[in-house]
Structure 1
Amino acid sequence: MRADRLVAILLMLQRREQVTATEVAHELEVSERTARRDLEALSVAGIPVYSLPGRGGGWRLLGGARTDLSGLTAGEARALFLVAGPASTATPAVKAALRKLVRALPEPFREQAEAAATSVVVDPQHWGSGRPEPRAPRYLDELQEAVILGVQVRLGYVDRKGRETERTVHPLGIVAKGPVWYLLSHTQDGQRTFRVDRVSSVEVTADPVQRPEGFDLAESWREIADEVDRRRTPVEAQAVCTPDGVGLLRRMLGGRLEVGPSTPDGRVEVVIRGHTEYTLAGELAWLTEWLEVTGPQGVRDHLASIGSALVARYR
């Protein structure tokens, strides 16, 4: 069971100063790839576990501390080691467990432990429909280490047009969006987001990060993702939907659906975002049983055209 492996790995980290994925794989009789995923899962779940890149590197429990599991309830322990996502999306039971783990650390290490627990957000939704296999970019470990330590980095970066620049940034957090990793940073021009696979060099400095007051990585990323989604789907259609169709729309459209109040006839007002009026009409055409599009007229005209074409072919 994966939960058993995660507990075993945490106990290994308690006993030893450092472990490698190879050592974990050998001791637990799993593949090295599985061992690496389990180590990453502990870190993503909010446990203060971090990796050291390069020759002689491995995985450590932050500060070399020994975490006492005896304070966890059975429910909290199960929730903690079965969690698949980060602390930012964890249940209250998981968050309670993480707080106990942080309190178990010696006082000097708590600040970095809390930084490690909030340094990564995993957003499982992909941009678009493609689902390539996730791959860790070259400088991911160095950037996450800079986030945890709270230090600035000099960053070499290649933009989408192939132009390379160098700048000093204040790393605030790492986000995995589907298979793509992003660095959220504060810069002299305000907050910026960088794709980690476009980073060409990283030089860690000793200068402390200037962190915006009240900054929350998960909330900041939600705002960025919502804005990108709005730009990718600029067309909005208004409609009314039967109550039993709202769940179907939620599953099909996800964040592109906004649900409003009920109408006098018992239906529900909805707003649906799409790329163009034509593609939006194509998506909604098969939902006629549940949905009536009220605007814009362009989407209604495309729906009428689709209906006429279907009648002409299949009548």
Structure 2
Amino acid sequence: MTAAPLSPAPTPWSAWGERLVAAGNGELMSVVNGTITSKPGWRSARTRKPSRATGGAMEQTAEPADLTTAIPSPPSATPAARPSRRRDAPRNRRPVQAPQLIEAARLADQLQAAGFTERDIARIIDRDPSLVSQFYTRHKGAAFVPALTRVLQAVQTAGITDTTELAAIAAPHITRRTTSSGTRARVRTRSVLITPAGTGTGRAGAQAIASGSTRLRALIAEAARQRLRLAFTVRLAKTAYVHPSGSRTDSPGIRRDVIQRADHTEERSYGSSATGGFDATDFARRTDRAAGDVTVAIHQWLVETGRIHPDARIIHLEIRTWRPRS
């Protein structure tokens, strides 16, 4: 018996270019790029009995076969997601070790446990408070170990708490560094810019104010030595001022010298070259009475003159100097 020629079945095309055709015996054949492959077990939906017109071959009906269940789904174009790595798996991490404190830092910790602050320790050893903080961060302070040891003994045994008395105890045990020739070594300090005309500016932010604004003390002292005039600008919360903005009672009494900020704070300037400013000698004495704390001296002046509330806190401070006209 001669097999009937392959006739394409009215079936849908698959997603990867495969075409299914039905042979004369009812089996489905796969045609991919001209290559014919049999699909055993796949048969056309309907076939008729052999007829004389086809020479005994199986005749396929003209109705399309439903092959949606027989054609496998094409492979997905998106690759399967990899399983996530377990985040709770233990990792071999080295334990973080606490930094080792030097002897000066341990003595400072014991003094702070006794009720002293870093600023008090700095006054006792006659240094800037920033140096005390460097006992912990940069391992400085080895030269102050003998002095701090004597001070700690005086606090623990004699119960001395006055910083002036403790400074007198520490002074004989503190020596300045010397050069190879035996002369006193120069210490790097912050330069205070005061021009020959007498103009100078110094600012202190939150961090400097917390340590007493000591960098402004040198500016005020030099201005007092040259008999200069000064003005200052402070930033406080709006509710910290007694008088409203632009009040004639409050200095300067004009709107353009009041700067309001989005964080509900306000900057106000006191003194100017037009109004004459303030005597730098007066504020130098106030700073000395406040143990060198410029912020405290300015705060006391503002409270005494009725411009801010006693519980107000200065956030920013700026001081300007100039030489008065003769």
TM-score for both structures, normalised by structure 2: 0.28
Larger Cα Rg: Structure 1 or Structure 2? 2
Between Structure 1 and Structure 2, the one with more strand by share is 1
Query: Which has the higher relative contact order, 1 or 2, with Cα contacts under 8 A spaced 6 or more apart?
Result: 2
